[in-house]
Amino acid sequence: MSAHHAKGPLHLQAAAGASGLLALLGLVMFALVHHHGTQTALEATQRLNLGLARYVVAHLEGGMVDRSGHPDGRRMTALAQQVMMINPAVEVYLLSTDGQVLAHALDGELPVDPIGRRVDMAPVQRLSTPALAAPRLPVLGDDPRRPGQRTIVSVAPVADAGTTTGYMYIVLHGQALRTVAGNLADSQALRELLLGLVLVTAMAAGVLALALRRLTRPLRQLAAELDAFRTEPGTPGSPRAQDELGVLRMAIAALQQRVGEQFARLEQADSQRRELISSISHDLRTPLSNIRGYVETVLLRGDGLAVETRAQHLRTALRHTDLLNRRVRDLFELSKLDAGRQTPRQDRFCLAELLQDVVQNYQLPARHQGVAIAMAANSLRQARVTADIAMIERVLQNLIDNALRFTAAGGQVTLVVTASGAQYAISVTDTGRGIPAEHLPHIFDRYWRAGPDEEMRAGTSSGLGLAIVKRILELHGSAVRVTSALAQGTRVEFALPLAA
């Protein structure tokens, strides 16, 4: 869309186009009327004077050409004066039988004397042969005085003893009449006619504009409503069309785009729904099966079980119940994060204090596992950041849970806060067994496990902890980076902006 560039409201464009067409038609009509008037005037003049040459020849006393074929100049001059006294607009010529100008009686100085010029004999034959049917007027003949121009003429043969010796050739639309016609072309009447044409066109344009404005009012209202629907508040850079059709075209395109986006969101939501159902089924099957197995064992064997064995089965079922509770909680938390129903608050807090509180909460479970957990001595103690403190605490908890899960007794988990430009970097480092390089791209995928040995650890992880970490940090505009070496440990790092 080349693109269509609107020039104004539709009714004004239509009125302007119609006015231009009316003006063009008016000019064409004016030209046709002018041409018709000219032709009518020529026909009338020629019809009135068609027998003038024949009348002149009939009243000649003696011939105009002597026996040697030379014209009688004195007689020609006298004849021309008599004719032009009757009609000053005519010009009298004497032609030979082959159309050559033999004589004339033109007044004044001539740029080029027409004597010797030849005229087209076809009009002469049509006008001078009585046997032919009356010609359709006007019949134009060559103007000897103005080569290349044609005008109305009156023609009659000049005979001597029954033999045609030449032709009387009278130009009816002579120089005098041309001068008058030229003056008329610049007359007041013609100017008034043109002015009237302009006024009529302007009035027609105004009437058309008003009529079209009224007719297109519903279209303009619809275009305005669609434009308001298309352009959302706060988007001044949105392109705007200048006519109603452009608005409709852009609104339709915007609606198509919006419908496409809505369909995409619906498909994404449906995909997330199916994935959630599959995830819940996957996530709940193992602990439920384990709980059912242990409870059935206790019920079926009853008093046949030793007291200690029964207590162990019940403790295991309780542990799986706790895991089931954690998995349900993690599932709903991750689903809310994915659906955008949770947005991070902008809390200003001391990062070192939060890390110290989290470390303190994990001292007892870490001691039971034989793992040391602490905040590094070189950490920045006054670091203040802007983030959602509850979400960042959840990130730290998940990272520490993961570190403790894969760190053997005698290992260590360390938390560090360092400055990194306009941000503070937070890292959680463990001395666990590490992660193979080929597994690093997948560790943030939900439910991903490295192998069968990890599956055997069911009951200690929901498989969603790192996925929740990644999603929370994405909402904060931060990325999580992982470095690891086998048998040496893993380091997970992310950054938060300094508090303003």
Read off the pLDDT band of 482 (50, 70, 90). very high
Q: Is the pLDDT of residue 447 over 70?
A: no
pLDDT in tens, 419-442: 988 899 999 999 999 999 998 988
The band of 282, judged by pLDDT with boundaries at 50, 70 and 90, is low
Neighbour tally for 342: CB within 10 Å: 16
What CATH architecture applies to the domain 246-334?
Orthogonal Bundle (1.10)
| 345-497 shares the fold of 246-334 | no
- Quick one: pLDDT at residue 467? 86
What dotted CATH number matches 345-497?
3.30.565.10
> Residue 204 CA to chain centroid, in angstroms?
33
Please give the Cα distance from 413 to 426 (Å, whole number).
13
Q: Is the pLDDT of residue 79 over 80?
A: no
Task: Report the alpha-carbon distance of residue 446 to residue 458 in Å, rounded.
Answer: 15
- Please state the φ and ψ torsions of residue 446, each to the nearest 5 degrees: -65, 135
pLDDT at 351: 92
- Closest by CA to 244, choosing from 270, 222, 212, 263, is 222
pTM tops 0.75, yes or no? no
* Confidence at 411, pLDDT banded by 50, 70, 90: very high
* Fold type of domain 50-171: Beta-Lactamase (3.30.450)
For 108, left (φ over 0), alpha (ψ -120 to 50), or beta? Answer: left
| pLDDT tops 70 at residue 459 | no
Q: Which residues contact 400 (CB under 8 A, 6 or more apart)?
A: 358, 362, 373, 413, 415, 428
| Nearest alpha carbon to residue 416 among 428, 406, 404, 408 | 428
213 residue type, one letter: R
CA 4, CA 233: separation in Å to the nearest integer? 26
Q: Which residues contact 57 (CB under 8 A, 6 or more apart)?
A: 156, 157, 158, 168
- Measure Cα distances from 365 to 119, 318, 362, 405 in Å: 128, 18, 6, 11
Spell out the residues 6+ positions from residue 494 whose beta carbon is closer than 8 angstroms to its own: 395, 425, 426, 473, 478, 479, 480, 481
Domain range summary for the chain, segments of one domain joined by + = 50-171, 246-334, 345-497
